Amino acid sequence: MPGVKILLSVLLLVMVPYAAYSSFLGWHLQSLGASRLWVGIAWTVAAISEVPIFGMGSRWLIRTPAWSLMAGAAMIFAVRWLAYAYIQSYPIIVFLQLAQSLSFALFYLAAVEYLTKLVPHELRSSAQSLMQGISFGVSAIVGSTVGGWLVKTGGIFILYIMMAVLSGLGAVGSFIWLRSELVQVKLNIESSVGDSTRE
């Protein structure tokens, strides 16, 4: 399915930077002077911030198209990575971990919803397994490997800039590619229903 390939491409653009962030946030905070306690607080803040979105985000999906939420969340990711690149105060970065809710949690929730509308019911379990493999398997390998190379050769600043660029491309891809693909799927469904009715 072309639509699934496009969705997985957008996922890679957004989730590879997220995987790099997951690998290097602790090191980054400690390089700014944070203790292990502060690193733990940073992860705790991020985890707690996700709860409202995963708990009530379905209400947003009723009113707002999934591709639109994905585009917005990816753009928040991009702004977040730029902030991490330039801010040199670890308490502020820890505070910005609250943006985890409107970036990762919202993006992933909307991506799952988009996928369910894109594929037939009988293929959803397989499609979601593939999506998880791309989001947390392939992305983790690429993000940590390439991220480590960028940190070694250019520093953490360059890493965050590249992360912001990729997330920005993911936002553009969500707005242009995913929106047009879902419209085409709806047109195909309506056409099939119309043909069946005429028969």
What's the rounded mean pLDDT across residues 131-151?
95
Extract the tokens encoding 28: 């980054």
Q: What is the CA radius of gyration of the chain?
A: 18
d(CA 107, CA 72): 8
What are the tens digits of pLDDT across the range 96-115?
999 999 999 999 999 998 88
CATH class held by domain 2-193: mainly alpha
Flag whether pLDDT at 193 surpasses 60: no
Are 3 and 185 within 8 A, CB to CB?
Answer: yes
CB contact at 8 A, 93 and 63: no
| CA 190 to each of CA 51, 55, 61, 163, 183: distance values in angstroms, whole numbers, following the listed order | 37, 32, 22, 39, 11
pLDDT digits (tens, 9 = 90+) for 156-169: 999 999 999 999 99
Work out the average pLDDT over 53-73: 87
Q: pTM of the prediction?
A: 0.87
pLDDT of residue 179: 75
Q: Is residue 183's pLDDT more than 90?
A: no
